[in-house]
Amino acid sequence: MRTVPTTQRRGPALDIAVVGGGMVGAAAALALSRAGFKTALLEARPPSEWHAQDEVDLRVVGLAPSSIALLDDLGVWTSIRDARACPYAHMHVWDAENGAAIDFDAADEGRDLLGYIVENNLVQWTLWQSLEAAGVQRLCPATVKDFETRSDRVVLELADGESLTVRLLVAADGAGSPLRERAGIAARGRDYGQRAIVAHVHTERAHAHTAWQRFLPTGPLALLPLADGRSSVVWSLPEAEARRIQALDDAAFCNELSIASDFRLGRITAATPRAAFPLKLQLADTYQADRFVLLGDAAHVVHPLAGQGVNLGLRDVAELRDTLVAAREQERDIAGTHVLRRYARRRRSADTLDAYGFDALARIYAWQSLPLVTARGLGVRILDHLVPLKRRIAAHAAGS
């Protein structure tokens, strides 16, 4: 990236280019366009089409009320909900080492639901299908080869030799973000040395619209309710153990998963083919450079134990949209340093607290010495009876 002055007076035809068409990037492009900004979305390849008759996507997300509110505001939530989404009103979390448990119930928080479990592909495809009608200039396939920042614009050099000029460049191009690197922004964190195994399973007992999570010495195991009655498994394991579990035949996998889940839903009777992905903590040093901001995984990657990764990204989207709208109303440059710094400070502060909070939780549940395990159990039991604190935790997870 180079920053050079410009003497041109006429502004660029487009206000914003969002690079990356995943859930967060597509939501950002849609939100910004609906807010009245001339927006382009650049993506190297289109998402896979979603069809109701297809197998449920292995990657699912627990959408919090804040995310649902944003998607509803964008006009896509009803389609997503009615297509294939599973509401859940309860969450039960328990410790394999000491039996301590904590429960969250939507009714206790004055809500109907805690959230919905939805396929990643369904959310992304629905957003993608809505872009054109909302006025988003959808460029696909398109890859940014480089970009040059000038005093009033950013010039994007595309891999096909074309160029695009915008006021603001938004990077939503994933955890390995090439644009973040070209902007000279470092990202720090740690590799958990774990993989999350994902699959969908049939169980003897119904999931009861409850999200179940058991903390094992090897890492957390989640059973999330699906709309078809099955449960989605997210099983975090050390690398070597994950490879062993991945290599099991279906019968052996179901047996080990039944034991690991404490038979909470009875026996696991069948499972889909499995996939696995590495786990890490990563946080960008800043979310902002000259006429440039980061969103979603390009800005932060968190442990999946709390299921908040996509929710944090969608909160980035809402904050950026609101910040830019406020700047426009004040007749300020939407990509001015002070404007973008406001977005960056707010979101990085919130994301840092969440990311390291999840990291601390993962570390605490990794304790294995008897005194620490006992203390952890006592703390969880006390927390389960501290209703105001539980409500605060639930409200924060909901995005309130």
Percentage of the chain beyond pLDDT 90 is 76
| 136 touches 74 (CB < 8 A) | no
For the record, the structure tokens of 324 come out as 């830019």
Q: Which residue has the higher pLDDT, 164 or 389?
A: 164
Q: For the domain bounded by 2-398, which CATH number is listed?
A: 3.50.50.60
Residue percentage of the chain with pLDDT more than 70: 89
**Residue 383: pLDDT above 70?**
no
Partners of residue 190 on adjacent β-strands: 281
pLDDT digits (tens, 9 = 90+) for 108-122: 878 889 999 999 999
Binned at pLDDT 50, 70 and 90, residue 8 comes out as very low
pLDDT digit string (tens) for 297-354? 999 999 887 667 899 999 999 999 999 999 999 999 999 999 999 999 999 999 898 8
In the structure encoding, which two tokens stand for residue 26, read together?
């597509």
Q: What is the pLDDT of residue 360?
A: 74
User: How many Å apart are CA 383 and CA 386, to the nearest integer?
Assistant: 5
Q: Following DSSP, what letter does each residue of 106-149 receive, concatenated? A: GGGGT-S-SEEEEEHHHHHHHHHHHHTTTT-EEE-S--EEEEEE
Least confident of 6-10, 172-176, 320-324: 6-10
∠ CA 350-80-169, nearest 5°, is 45
Per-residue pLDDT tens for 41-79? 999 999 999 999 999 999 999 999 999 999 999 999 999
Name the least confident of 163-177, 196-210, 318-332, 344-358: 344-358
pLDDT recorded at residue 303: 84
Segment of 20-24, 98-102, 112-116 carrying the highest mean pLDDT = 20-24
Rounded-to-integer distance, Cα 190 and Cα 394, Å:
27
Confidence of residue 27 (pLDDT cuts 50, 70, 90): very high
Compute the average pLDDT of residues 216-241: 95
For residue 322, the model assigns a pLDDT of: 98
Q: Which has more confidence, 61 or 4?
A: 61
What letter would DSSP give residue 82?
A: H
DSSP H helical ranges for 193-336: 239-247, 250-260, 309-329
Average pLDDT over residues 201-213: 96
12-21, 279-288, 388-397, range with the lowest pLDDT: 388-397
Q: Assign 258 a pLDDT band (cuts: 50, 70, 90).
A: very high
Confidence check: pLDDT of 158 > 90: yes
The pLDDT of residue 353 is: 86
Identify the band that residue 201 occupies on the pLDDT scale cut at 50, 70 and 90: very high
User: Looking up tokens 């549940």, which residue turns up?
Assistant: 365
What pLDDT was estimated at residue 99?
Answer: 81
Mean pLDDT computed over every residue of the chain: 90
Does residue 222 or residue 395 have the better pLDDT?
A: 222
Query: Tokens 């901001």, residue?
Result: 293
The pLDDT score that the predictor gives to residue 108 is: 82
For the chain, which residues make up each domain, given as ranges? 2-398
